[in-house]
Amino acid sequence: EPEVTQTPSHQVTQMGQEVILRCVPISNHLYFYWYRQILGQKVEFLVSFYNNEISEKSEIFDDQFSVERPDGSNFTLKIRSTKLEDSAMYFCASSERRENIQYFGAGTRLSVL
């Protein structure tokens, strides 16, 4: 069964460093999303991506964040200069069409020290 793949599963970084979280969405899906979940809190939307551009972003998604689809398969989230408060679980999701169910990856746990 097709699945969304995220790497790495756990990333530890020093404050101020850049990190890139990687996602491989399901191959025929056209809509891509990043969400995050700070420990003990609910899942929050970060950004959605369609047709090689951002379709919507939240207030959390400031200039420190960027997304890219560098080739036909990968979808990446970059945090330019990590802060302690960026520590969270980051989930990638994809859907075939906007109105379809979203499939989630297993998540990347980011720990900023």
Partner 1 sequence: KNEVEQSPQNLTAQEGEFITINCSYSVGISALHWLQQHPGGGIVSLFMLSSGKKKHGRLIATINIQEKHSSLHITASHPRDSAVYICAVVLINDYKLSFGAGTTVTVRA
Per CB under 8 A, residues contacting partner 1 are: 31, 33, 35, 37, 42-45, 48, 50, 55-56, 58, 89, 91, 98-107, 109
Tell me the C-alpha to C-alpha distance, in Å, between residue 100 and each of 18, 30, 46.
Answer: 33, 11, 19
Residue with smaller CB distance to partner 1, 44 or 85: 44
Residue with smaller CB distance to partner 1, 16 or 112: 112
Rounded to the nearest whole angstrom, what is the least distance from the CB of residue 101 to partner 1 in the complex?
4
Torsion of CA 53, 63, 27, 55, to 10 degrees: -40
C-alpha 96/C-alpha 28 separation (Å) is 6
Rounded to the nearest whole angstrom, what is the least distance from the CB of residue 41 to partner 1 in the complex?
8
